[in-house]
Structure 1
């Protein structure tokens, strides 16, 4: 969830395991700064992440993802999620599910929370909303919503712009925006250059962020 200037290297991982009616995939990534909703989760330092996903042909899915973080002391974020994704006739895609953000370290007591989310997509445009349904703290009815649009200027290139707003129950609201330029290289993964800026960030993290990332799925 946080960020600044930096450079980075690459990624590697496990293999996909297809089954009769489902698929298991793995992913790994490296970033010069782990940004989440416009806020650095690593105190503007690099992060290494990885995850495993199970997707059934019906549209149901489960997954887990982990990364190092630093909110003053180093720790680990573990995400566990599940949901259902599909597409209606006419091309409207939808994805509804639950995600739990878990912080196992003793230094991150009372930080765990769970969101209910709904994401929609149509062509190059997408958007979504996430509502905090449970948390270790009292005022947890937080709301986050976002919108994004992208296009492919050339084969294996993608440019997208995203804006989001975090509406906290305790009035620590802020907005952010970012632009991502991604180059897909096939066997060597996807490389992304990101420029991000948050406004009125309550975590004193509203500097312009420039991030370089590399990710690979199997």
Structure 2
């Protein structure tokens, strides 16, 4: 069993020991994007979570969304139309205001043309409105190739209960260098978002973009990576 699967299972096991708080979030977004790449065929995406949080800082949950990354007949088409993410982790808040976290993911895609399931581990550190992240997979999209992603974000609290969220990240590693096999390339991405809640409804308007260019730049329907606005609404129960 690889390290990322071990971490995920360990998080799930530890979660049975403390008092729990259960929550669920339903979200509708104009496009499902992750790290600047669109994964819903430029169509809206509906997602839902079911989360457990313990008093100790341990947590676990699942996230489900529709997805569509390739046109029918594309040589890279995996046939996926549903993504299920399982995750577990631990957050630690220090007395000096620093906070640290770790998380394990298992990305599962049912009923695909070939196996694209994979695991990933992440680590975070933050203070105040600033956060930094590092994510690692030793088997990105089941290719046996390593993937790394680093990112940082900062939230400005504005008047009228509005937040300005700024984020920048960079994806690199073997998976992104083996372009003939994966069709990918190392890249940076960024996001600027305005967030505001209206009663029980949370809204977010984002501008996302990447530095992918040349034959890797894509402003079409699938796997978009150009600059664009994305709007989402969500509610947490």
Is the CA contact 2:30–2:45 (under 8 Å) kept in the aligned structure 1?
Answer: yes
For the pair 1:176 / 2:189, whether they are aligned, the reply is yes
How big is the shift at 1:74?
A: 5.6
Matched with 2:93 is 87
Q: Give yes or no for the alignment of 1:124 onto 2:113.
A: no
Residues 137-146 or 58-67, more deviating: 137-146
Segments ≥4 residues shifted beyond 6 Å: none
5 Å-filtered alignment, 1:7-86, equals 21-72=19-70, 75-86=81-92
Q: Counterpart of 1:10?
A: none
Aligned length: 197
Contact 2:52/2:61 (8 A) holds in 1: yes
Identify which of 145, 158, 161 aligns with 1:153: 158
**Structure with a larger share of its residues in strand:** 1
Q: Distance in 2 between matches of 1:105 and 1:37?
A: 24
Indicate the structure with greater helix content.
2
Structure 1 residue 96: Cα displacement? 0.3
> Per-residue deviation at 1:169?
0.9
- Do the aligned partners of residues 56 and 203 (structure 1) sit closer, same or farther apart at CA in structure 2, a change above 3 Å counting? farther
- Flag the structure with more relative contact order, 1 or 2, with Cα contacts below 8 A and sequence separation at least 6: 1
Residue 13 of structure 1: aligned partner: none
TM-score (norm 1): 0.85
Select 1:163's aligned residue among 168, 189, 200. Answer: 168
Residues 32-41 or 162-171, more deviating: 162-171
Q: Deviation at 1:27?
A: 0.6
1:137 aligned residue (136, 142, 145): 142
- Which deviates more from structure 2 when the two are superposed, residues 137-146 or residues 208-217? 137-146
TM-score, normalization by structure 2? 0.78
User: 1:104 matched to which residue of 2?
Assistant: 110
Deviations 1:15-41 (A, max 9, x none): xxxxx8220001100000111000001
Do the aligned partners of 2:80 and 2:109 also contact (CA within 8 Å) in 1? no
